[in-house]
Amino acid sequence: MELIKRGINIDFIGKRYIAFAISGLLIIISILSLIVRGGPQYGIDFAGGTLIQLKFKTPVEIGKIKTGLSAMNLSNSSVQIFGDEEENEFLVRTNAPVTTNKEFSQSLEEALITATGNGAEIRRIEMVGPQVGKDLQGKALFAIFYSLLFIAIYISGRFEFKWMLSGLTAAVLMGSVYFLSLFKINLAVLIAAALLVTFAIFWQLNLKYAMAAIVALAHDVMITVGMFSIFDKEFSLPIVAAILTIIGYSLNDTIIIFDRIRENLKKHTKSPLAFVINRSVNETLSRTILTSGTTLLVVIALFILGGGIIHDFAFALLVGITVGTYSTVYVASPILNAWQGKTKKRR
C-alpha cells in the first residue's frame, strides 16, 4: 500500500511565500497572545503556589466550591474543571504556598461540605514555595540551555561535517554565556542571547544547513509556546520536557530531509537548487507523513485517554509534532533555498 504515489512532485519551494505567510501569522498571533497575557503563564512549579485536586461524588457548581474556599481565606484562588466533566474533578489553585497540615485539610473538607453539600476527596496536593519555584525555573532553563548547546554543536558538526568548527561554535557560545553571566543577567535572557550568538556564528561561518535547522526549531518552539498562551495553559516542568522533545523530534525530520538534499545534490549537479530540494522533500514525503502520522496517532491516544494530569503534556507534543513536521517541509527547506540563492554558492 502507498499513501504517497511514487514520483509525486509537489512544488513545495514554489509555495514558500504562502508558507512564510502562514508561519509569520502564527508567530505574530503567538507573540500578540503572549504580550496581551503578559508573558507565558507559569504553573506552580515555577511561580510557586498551591494546587489542590478535588473529586466530588456528584456534580457540583464551581461557584459553590468558590464559596467554600472563601470561607477558608482562599478566596483569591482559581477553580477549574479537571479532566472529563463527568468525573466531578476540580483543580484549585492559589498563588500562596499554603501549609496543608491536618487542621487545614479537615477544615477544607468541612467548608466544602457546608458550601456544596457534597463530600470531596482531596486527591492531590502540590505546594511549591517561592524558593523552590525559583530553583526549578533555574533547572528548567539550564536544561533548555544545555540541550540547545549540544544540539547546536551536533547540527553544526553533522550538517556541515565541520566538527572543528562546531567545537569552535561551542567554545564561543560557552564563552559568551559565561561573559554575560558575569553581569548576573536573567537566565532566560541568557538563553535568548545564546540563540542569537549561535545564529550569528552560523551566519558568519556560512553554515546554511545548520542555520535553516535552527530557524525551523525556533519557529516550532515559538508556535508551541504561543499555542499554550492562546489556550491559556500553564508552563510546568513536564511542558519544558515536552518542548525539548519537540526540539529533538523536529530536528530528526530536518536531518533526514537535509541528508537527502545533500545526496541528491551529488546526483544532480546541473539542476537548480530549488529543483533538488523539491525532489528531496518529495522523495522523503512518504516517510515524513508516515512517521509523523504514527507519532501523532499515539500522542492523540495519550491526549484523549491519558487523563487530566498528562493532558497538557500531550497537548504540547501534539502541537509541537504537527508544527515540527510542517516546518521541516515548509520552513527549513525554503530557508535553505533562500540562503543558497543569496550566496550563489552550492555545495
- Neighbour-count burial of 346, counting CB atoms closer than 10 A to its CB (0-12 exposed, 13-18 middle, 19+ buried): exposed
Least Å from the CB of residue 343 to other proteins: 25
Least Å from the CB of residue 97 to other proteins: 8
Residue number, 171 or 298, with CB nearest to other proteins: 298
Angle, helix 333-343 to helix 16-36, in steps of 10 degrees? 110
Residue number, 121 or 232, with CB nearest to other proteins: 121
Residue number, 16 or 158, with CB nearest to other proteins: 158
What does DSSP assign to residue 100?
-
Residue number, 161 or 343, with CB nearest to other proteins: 161
Residue number, 160 or 253, with CB nearest to other proteins: 253
Record the cell numbers describing residue 162, joined without a space.
565541520
What does DSSP assign to residue 314?
H
**Could you give the residue ranges of the DSSP H alpha helices within the chain?**
16-36, 44-47, 62-70, 102-116, 130-160, 163-181, 187-204, 208-230, 237-267, 273-305, 308-327, 333-343
Least Å from the CB of residue 24 to other proteins: 26
Least Å from the CB of residue 102 to other proteins: 4
Least Å from the CB of residue 304 to other proteins: 7
Record the cell numbers describing residue 86, joined without a space.
463527568
Residue number, 212 or 255, with CB nearest to other proteins: 255
Residue number, 40 or 272, with CB nearest to other proteins: 40
Record the cell numbers describing residue 87, joined without a space.
468525573
Least Å from the CB of residue 149 to other proteins: 9
Least Å from the CB of residue 105 to other proteins: 6
**N- to C-terminal Cα separation, the chain:** 36
Taking CB atoms within 8 Å and a gap of at least 24, the contacts of 57-64 are 57/88, 57/118, 57/119, 58/88, 58/118, 59/88, 60/88, 60/90, 60/116, 60/118, 61/116, 62/90, 64/115, 64/116
Residue number, 27 or 241, with CB nearest to other proteins: 241
Residue number, 32 or 298, with CB nearest to other proteins: 298
Record the cell numbers describing residue 235, joined without a space.
508552563
**Could you give the residue ranges of the DSSP H alpha helices within 123-236?**
130-160, 163-181, 187-204, 208-230
Least Å from the CB of residue 317 to other proteins: 7
**CB–CB of 77/92 below 8 Å?**
yes
What is the Cα–Cα distance from 299 to 209, expressed in whole angstroms?
29
Q: Which of 46, 258, 53 has the alpha carbon at shortest distance from 136? A: 46
Least Å from the CB of residue 25 to other proteins: 28
